[in-house]
C-alpha cells in the first residue's frame, strides 16, 4: 500500500476552523502539488478528504474522485487517520488530505510505531509505502509545493 499524507495548503485565519478558506498563496500551493500528484499517482488512487473547507479546496486540485471523511477532520488522532485509509493492509494508493498535527503524527506512527510530533509544511506531502506482508514502512518522498517548479 502507498499512503500519501497531504496537508491542506495555506488558509486564512478565522473563528470557524471548519470554514477557513485557502489564501491566494494556498491556491497556488494546492495547484502545484495537485499537478505533481496527478503526474505521479496511479490513475486508480483513492482520495480521502477532511470535511474542512481548506482541505476540500486543496483536494479539488487533484483530478481524482474523492471521499469526505470525518475521521480526518481537524482534531483527528493519528490512529484514526491510519484506520480511515486502512493502513497498512489496504491495497493500492490512498491520498489523505488533512491537517496538522494529525498527519505528522500519522506519519510517525506508520514509520516508527509511535505517534510523534512530526510536522508537515502547509501544502506538503509525505509519501509512505508498505509492502504486503511487511511490518516496516518506508518513505518514498517528502515534498513541499515551493520545491515544485511550474514546469514540473
Strands lying side by side in the sheet with 125-130? 66-68, 46-49, 93-98, 2-7, 125-130, 137-143
Class of the 2-147 domain?
Answer: alpha beta
- The kind and range of the H/E element at 145 are none
b/e 76-101 (16+ beta carbons within 10 angstroms → b): bbbebbbebbebbeeeebbbbbbbbb
Residue 149 pLDDT: 77
Distance separating alpha carbons of residues 100 and 51, to the nearest angstrom: 14
66-68/46-49 β-pairing: parallel
Assign 3-class secondary structure to 116-129. Answer: CCCCCCCCCEEEEE
Q: State how far the Cα of 139 lies from the Cα of 147, in Å rounded to an integer.
A: 18
Question: Is pLDDT of 135 > 90?
Answer: no
Q: Mean pLDDT over residues 130-136, rounded?
A: 77
Q: Kindly state the helix (H) or strand (E) to which residue 149 belongs, with its residue range.
A: none
Residues in CB range of 115: below 8 A, 6 or more apart? 77, 78, 79, 105, 106, 108, 109
Question: Which segment of 10-19, 35-44, 106-115, 127-136 scores lowest on mean pLDDT?
Answer: 127-136
Predicted pLDDT at 152: 46
Q: What's the pLDDT score for residue 114?
A: 93
The whole-model pTM stands at: 0.95
Q: What is the pLDDT of residues 29-76, one digit of tens each?
A: 999 999 999 999 999 999 999 999 999 999 999 999 999 999 999 999
Is residue 125 scored above 70 in pLDDT?
yes
Amino acid at each position: 500500500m502507498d499512503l500519501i499524507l497531504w496537508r491542506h495548503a495555506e488558509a486564512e485565519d478565522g473563528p470557524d476552523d471548519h470554514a477557513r478558506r485557502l489564501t491566494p498563496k494556498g491556491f497556488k500551493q494546492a495547484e502545484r502539488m495537485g499537478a505533481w500528484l496527478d503526474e505521479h499517482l496511479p490513475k486508480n488512487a483513492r482520495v480521502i478528504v477532511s470535511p474542512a473547507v481548506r482541505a476540500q479546496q486543496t483536494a479539488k486540485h487533484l483530478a481524482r474522485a474523492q471521499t469526505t471523511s470525518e475521521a480526518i477532520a481537524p482534531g483527528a488522532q493519528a490512529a484514526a487517520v491510519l484506520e480511515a485509509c486502512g493502513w497498512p493492509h489496504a491495497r493500492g494508493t490512498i491520498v489523505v488530505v488533512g491537517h496538522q498535527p494529525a498527519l505528522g503524527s500519522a506519519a510517525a506512527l506508520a514509520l516508527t510505531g509511535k505517534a510523534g510530533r512530526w510536522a508537515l509544511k502547509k501544502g506538503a506531502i509525505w509519501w509512505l509505502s508498505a509492502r504486503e506482508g511487511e511490518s516496516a514502512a518506508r518513505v518514498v518522498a517528502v515534498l513541499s509545493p515551493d520545491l515544485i517548479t511550474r514546469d514540473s
